[in-house]
Amino acid sequence: MINKISQQEDKLAWVYLVNLTFYLIPLFFGDKPVWQITLALLALIPFVYAYFWAYRSNKHHAYKPILVMIALGIATTPINTGSLSLFTFAGFFIGFFYPLNRALQAFIALAASLFALSYFLEISHYFAIYGTGLVAGIGLFGVAERKRIEAKCKQQQSQDEISQLATMLERERIARDLHDIMGHSLSSISLKAELAEKLLAKGNIAQAQTQLQELNGIARESLSQVRETVSGYKHQGLQASVANLCQTLRDKGLSVSLVGDIPQLEAEVETQVILSVTELCNNIVRHSNASHCQLQFSQDESQHCICIEDDGDSVDITEGNGIKGIRERLNKLGGSLQYRSQPHCQFSLYLPIAGAH
């Protein structure tokens, strides 16, 4: 599920505000007193704030700016029937952030509010009918937009995983090349050193010096080759490690789901997380009879959460050296480890977000 509208979509936020034209039209094409026009225009200030607030919210907090938009719509209806425009913005965000069944309930409540306003303010019933149609239509557009962005995110996630796998294969190739270089070079160095030793024992100083010079040349050449190879072989990072673990689990016959965005962590924290997640995935491979495993990454204002769950047989969990090691690593980072075995085995790693209070 999407928590936030993507940064690329966020750039279009100002463009969508053009729909406020329908809010302004009744103000300047009707015979309204100046005070009503002034109040209606002032109401746009908190509305625009709530609009961008909603744009940058997640599904857990989006209800706050949505309620502000609805409240402003209700408050401005007595002085401007163009308030329907404010209700449609609220309808869009309801459809975008919430499942269809909850969104439909919210649309019904909005429709009831419109009919109540129409009745108590003695506005034409077309206000409620037309407004209900607009809210429902724009709200369903919000649902479709959420589906589109979800599909886009999943596609991007798959592409990232494929890219990480390709990078890992290249690094494995470099590692093999490094092994071949070192194996050949060390064999040559050993042979030259042994020959020089024998020549020295026989008193052939000049020939021994020649062998030692060649040995020195081989060592320097090997050092240059190693540096050149290692320059492209750096720490693969959390994303690549997770992709590698997912592939390992799939190679063992498990289906794997990767949910959420993998966070960017400091190098020290990332190393400890990689070791911990690797230990848990290895436990699944060694001890679980699971057919499916899910790795879920999430976060709130104060902490990251990494949840690893499999559908293997429920067993009593005994803390061995592996789990104790994970707990110690997390404790040093200010985090914690939680787990359960019913109905399936689930481990959750919690890490504080740097700078969060």
pLDDT on residue 178: 60
Measured CA distances, 318 to 98, 259, 285, 324, 357 (Å): 40, 27, 17, 10, 34
Instruction: State whether 207 and 252 are in the same domain.
Output: no
| Average model confidence (pLDDT) across the chain | 82
Instruction: State whether 301 and 170 are in the same domain.
Output: no
Instruction: State whether 80 and 95 are in the same domain.
Output: yes
Name the least confident of 65-69, 103-107, 158-162, 200-204: 158-162
Instruction: State whether 59 and 146 are in the same domain.
Output: yes
Q: Which two tokens stand for residue 19?
A: 């729909």
For residues 62 and 98, give the distance between their C-alpha atoms in angstroms, rounded to a whole number. Answer: 9
* Tokens 């499999």, located at residue: 310
For residues 87 and 130, give the distance between their C-alpha atoms in angstroms, rounded to a whole number. Answer: 12
Measured CA distances, 224 to 2, 103, 229, 348 (Å): 48, 64, 9, 45
Instruction: State whether 249 and 323 are in the same domain.
Output: yes
Quick: pLDDT tens for 177-194. Answer: 566 556 656 777 887 788
Higher pLDDT, 221 or 149: 149
Asked which of 135, 156, 177 is the last residue of a domain, the reply is 156
Sign of CA dihedral 107, 138, 100, 57: negative
Higher pLDDT, 169 or 281: 281
pLDDT of 305 > 90? The answer is yes
For residues 150 and 153, give the distance between their C-alpha atoms in angstroms, rounded to a whole number. Answer: 5
CATH of the domain at 199: 1.20.5
Instruction: State whether 67 and 138 are in the same domain.
Output: yes
pLDDT on residue 350: 93
Nearest one of 314, 309, 313, 310 to 349, comparing CA atoms: 309
Task: Decide if 339 contacts 347 (C-beta within 8 A).
Answer: yes
pLDDT of 174 > 70? The answer is no
pLDDT category at 355 given cuts 50, 70, 90 is low
Instruction: State whether 244 and 307 are in the same domain.
Output: yes
Higher pLDDT, 260 or 59: 260
- pLDDT, average across residues 237-250: 84
pLDDT category at 232 given cuts 50, 70, 90 is very low
Nearest one of 173, 160, 163, 159 to 233, comparing CA atoms: 173
Q: Which residue range is the domain that position 296 belongs to? A: 237-352
2 within domain boundaries: no
pLDDT on residue 32: 81
For residues 286 and 128, give the distance between their C-alpha atoms in angstroms, rounded to a whole number. Answer: 62
Determine the 3-state secondary structure of 10 from DSSP: helix
- pLDDT, average across residues 82-86: 90
pLDDT on residue 336: 92
pLDDT on residue 47: 93
Cβ neighbours of 77 (radius 10 Å):
23
Strands 255-259 vs 336-340: parallel, antiparallel or unpaired: unpaired
pLDDT of 313 > 80? The answer is no
pLDDT on residue 18: 82
Asked which of 230, 249, 266 is the last residue of a domain, the reply is 230
357 within domain boundaries: no
Strands 255-259 vs 292-299: parallel, antiparallel or unpaired: parallel
β-bridge partners, 338: 348
Quick: pLDDT tens for 3-20. Answer: 444 444 555 667 778 888
pLDDT on residue 326: 87
Name the least confident of 49-58, 303-312, 320-329: 320-329
Quick: pLDDT tens for 32-72. Answer: 888 888 998 999 999 999 998 888 888 888 889 999 999 99
Share of the chain above pLDDT 90, in %: 20
Rank 54-58, 94-98, 158-162, 219-223 by mean pLDDT and report only the highest.
94-98
Q: What are the backbone angles phi and psi of residue 353, rounded to the nearest 5°?
A: -85, 130
Cβ neighbours of 357 (radius 10 Å):
6
pLDDT on residue 274: 86
Under 8 Å CB-to-CB from 200, ≥6 apart: which residues?
208
Asked which of 141, 156, 171 is the last residue of a domain, the reply is 156
Under 8 Å CB-to-CB from 194, ≥6 apart: which residues?
none
Quick: pLDDT tens for 335-346. Answer: 999 988 887 888
Instruction: State whether 328 and 245 are in the same domain.
Output: yes
52 within domain boundaries: yes
Instruction: State whether 149 and 22 are in the same domain.
Output: yes
pLDDT on residue 270: 87
Q: In total, how many domains does the chain have?
A: 3
Quick: pLDDT tens for 150-173. Answer: 888 777 777 777 777 777 776 676
Share of the chain above pLDDT 70, in %: 85
pLDDT on residue 175: 65
Instruction: State whether 125 and 44 are in the same domain.
Output: yes
pLDDT of 93 > 80? The answer is yes
pLDDT on residue 2: 45
Instruction: State whether 69 and 177 are in the same domain.
Output: no
DSSP state of 56: T
Quick: pLDDT tens for 118-148. Answer: 989 888 888 889 889 988 898 888 888 888 8
CATH of the domain at 302: 3.30.565.10
Instruction: State whether 118 and 96 are in the same domain.
Output: yes
